[in-house]
Structure 1
Amino acid sequence: MTTSNDPLATGTHTVEIDGVTQRYHVHGTGPVCVAHSGGPGIFWEYLRMPALEEHLTVVYPEPVGTGASGRLPSHPHGYTRARYSRFLTALIDHLGVPEVHLLGHSHGGFVAQYHALHHPGRIAGVILYESAPVTGPEHGAEAVRLVQEFAARHADNPGLPEVVEAFQSIPTISDDAQMTTVARGIFPAYFAEFWGREAEFGPARAAVTGTYISGLDEDLTPDAVDDRAALGSLTVPALVLVGRHDVVCGVRWAEELHELIPGSELVVLENSGHFGHLEEPEAFTKAVTAFVEAAARN
């Protein structure tokens, strides 16, 4: 734990926001990039990007409700995009820099695009990493299709039944232990090639931990995503980044985001699934740093 008063000193920090503890971690040097992890509810460590930290100062918040950050009184409910955005606003204020780049991965991408739409003033650029413009039945049907393709490709793999069972268990998650079990179970499907590189990625799978977040507001209404009508008004530079083999927020959604966001850039990582920063760290880092450098020149 850092003892520095500098909010951007390397190490672990906490700040109180609306009476709730926000924990965050700082690594690297260069322009500041706030990296919002996904789930919702997956602990931030899976998103650690050492190669990117060689070029950027990466700030990793532990989103409220996960890890060592505080819980809302309404936990596991109330973790809406508007709430996460409120915490991002306060965190960026606390960091004390004029602008940051905002990277959101998976559900964190939903949060990042919401924040860039509603609070663009302090955002130098937004990186939508494995995001989508919409959730709900259409998004779910596409995910089912892609998971079925994954299962067909790996039909003879002895690890496949565990993955399939974990996907089938998603609707029944109701506590932290179940969230962690399911996250670890589906993990191989989030890679272009997990089993062929299991010695490399197996430790990351074993380390995945999650908190159960319901996806409902405090009044138990779903926090649905449909940004299709709004994304045409996005005013900040945007990079859409996707792995060719992602089964959750695949290329279809990245292409749609790219088409909807004026002037956006689309990069497809050809040999990655949902975790390009792990499977193709050099290509991932090149895409993000080139985007940040281009934004700085404009």
Structure 2
Amino acid sequence: MLADSPEFAAATTDARLVEINGNRLAVEVLGPADAPVLIAHHGAPGLGSRAEPRASFGRLADTYRVVVFDARGSGQSEGKGTFSHDQWAADIDGLREWIGAEQIIMAGGSYGGFMAMEYATRYPDRVRAMVLRDTSPDHAHEEKALANALASARVEIDRDKLDRIFAGAVRDDGDLRDCWREILPLYDYHYDPEAVERKVAATPYRYEAHNYAFSVNIPGYDVKPLLPSLTCPVLVTVGRTDWITPVECSEKIAELIPHARLVVFERSGHSPQIEEAEAWTEAVRAFLAETCPVP
């Protein structure tokens, strides 16, 4: 779903378990202790893990203190309580408090971008700057994504599996795996069937969080009315051929947030941080060097 590739497997060695709001989260901290803090949220609840933002935003750990984590109900983290946007945003703020930062750079791609915007609109005084990638300000992207999936010339999509994963109606972790395999060919600019199978094998499956996110959270998701109130600098990045959160979604975000900057990567699908890694990282570094300079 709203996920990223290919560095998608949950890490197994470097995490610490940190109790945040009564739930233990798997957390990794990278970079200098005295640097500005960047918290990066992964995509795809129930499918994503901290490995994805560690592989992309972790590149900035030579300059910034980068915190990556498995959200409640994903990866290696516990899944107590609910998986609402309110709860996940509160968990982000709990991590901010735990790391000892008054303000943070908030970052996220795909569904992680949903949560970055949800956090910034709930805790605006806590956000120094924000970096978004391949995301959407509301649930209207689902209609576009459905049309793109069914029109794809790469593969013929099983409509029943597509509908189950979009509706948050998968039956168990095995069914989530099958539905995920069905749509993975749509994500990258260049289609590699072997890479798809590697991603399927590497993904940590937690169907309860996925189902809640897509059956409960997304139908009511819409931060558009709140985005014009943001005052922090924002960088919006997106791949030109992103099928699930198309370019027009990022254009809408950049239109609504005062002084937001939009960068489109022409040879990328849903993951320009991988498919055009050098150019994407350079764009993020330049933005942060201007808006959050490190002495």
Residues 1:288 and 1:89: Cα distance change in structure 2 (over 3 Å): same
How far residue 130 of structure 1 moved from its aligned partner, in angstroms, is 1.3
What residue number does 1:102 align with? Answer: 106
Distance 1:58 1:166, change over 3 A: farther
Would the alpha carbon gap of residues 206 and 163 (structure 1) be closer, same or farther in structure 2, given more than 3 Å must change?
farther
Within 1, Cα distance between the matches of 2:19 and 2:45? 21
In structure 2, the CA distance between the partners of 1:247 and 1:66, relative to structure 1 (3 Å rule), is same
Relative to structure 1, the CA distance from residue 179 to residue 254 in structure 2 (aligned partners, 3 Å threshold; closer, same or farther) is same
1:133 is aligned to 2:141:
no
What amino acid is the match of 1:249? T
Which deviates more, 57-66 or 221-230? 221-230
Q: Distance in 1 between matches of 2:189 and 2:217?
A: 35
Contact residue 41 and residue 50 of structure 2 kept, 8 A: no
Per-residue CA distance 1:24-56 (angstroms, 9 max, x = gap): 122345643211011122231551454643433
Aligned twin of 1:143: 145
Q: CA contact under 8 A between 1:166 and 1:182: conserved in structure 2?
A: yes
Is 2:75 aligned against 1:67? yes
Q: How does the TM-score come out when normalised to structure 2?
A: 0.83
Match of 1:257 among 250, 253, 266: 253
Give the secondary-structure state (helix, strand or coil) at the position aligned to 1:215. helix
Deviation, 1:166, is 4.2
* Residue equivalent to 1:18: 21
Cα distance between partner residues in 1 of 2:179 and 2:56? 28
Larger Rg: 1
- Work out whether 1:244 is the aligned partner of 2:248: no
1:294 alignment counterpart? 290
Percentage identity across aligned positions? 29
Contact kept in structure 1, 2:40 and 2:57, CA below 8 Å: no
Matched residue, 1:37: 42
Measure, in 2, the Cα distance between the counterparts of 1:111 and 1:51. 17
Count of aligned pairs between the two proteins? 273
Structure 1 distance, partners of 2:276, 2:217, is 38
The CA deviation at 1:268 is: 0.8
Unaligned runs of at least 5 residues, structure 1 = 1-9, 155-159
The Cα shift of 1:98 comes to: 3.3
Distance 2:252 2:218 in 1: 23
Alignment of 1:147-296 (within 5 A): 147-149=149-151, 151-152=152-153, 154=154, 160-161=155-156, 166-170=161-165, 171=167, 172-195=169-192, 203-212=198-207, 213=209, 214-215=211-212, 224-296=220-292
Taking structure 1 as reference, are residues 286 and 223 closer, same or farther at Cα in structure 2, changes over 3 Å only?
same
Q: TM-score, normalised by structure 1?
A: 0.82
| Structure 2: runs of 5 or more not aligned | 1-12
RMSD between aligned alpha carbons?
2.7
